[in-house]
Amino acid sequence: SGSTNDYFINFNRKIGMNSQNKEGSDLVNVYGQAEREPQVPGEASRLLYSMHDGQSTELPDFGNSGKMLSIKVNEIVLGDESTIGWAEVTICLGTCNFGSPSISPSPT
């Protein structure tokens, strides 16, 4: 992202080796790396948001750009043991037309 905060997004399908997962299962998850010196041992990243179909969130001043990074989950298809599940996600930097985020950033 160009700053000391790095983010990554995943679709955490609860199947196979992830079948025992307890957090963020079958959801689109946004993880972030905290801006702290020194970093807490063992905390390389932390879960910021877990989103269902239709939910969205925003990351302000992404990469010190002064722009908002918006993330919206359009659709999640779980499939089954024989069909691969997937998520359709839209990511936009700057002006987007998602409406108000359904998941607001936590106060820091």
Q: Supply the range of the domain harboring residue 33.
A: 7-93
Instruction: Please report whether residue 104 resides in a domain.
Output: no
**pLDDT at residue number 44:** 75
Instruction: Please report whether residue 107 resides in a domain.
Output: no
Instruction: Please report whether residue 17 resides in a domain.
Output: yes
Instruction: Please report whether residue 101 resides in a domain.
Output: no
How confident is residue 92, by pLDDT bands cut at 50, 70 and 90?
very high
**pLDDT at residue number 1:** 44
Q: What is the pLDDT of residues 73-88, one digit of tens each?
A: 999 999 777 778 899 9
**Mean pLDDT across the stretch 1-9?**
70
Instruction: Please report whether residue 98 resides in a domain.
Output: no
Q: What is the pTM assigned to this prediction?
A: 0.75
**pLDDT at residue number 68:** 92
95 or 75: which leads in pLDDT: 75
Q: Count up the domains in the chain and report the number.
A: 1
The pairing of beta strand 56-59 with beta strand 46-51: unpaired
Instruction: Please report whether residue 103 resides in a domain.
Output: no
Q: What is the pLDDT of residues 8-59, one digit of tens each?
A: 999 988 777 777 777 888 999 999 876 555 556 666 788 899 999 999 999 9
Instruction: Please report whether residue 44 resides in a domain.
Output: yes
Instruction: Please report whether residue 2 resides in a domain.
Output: no
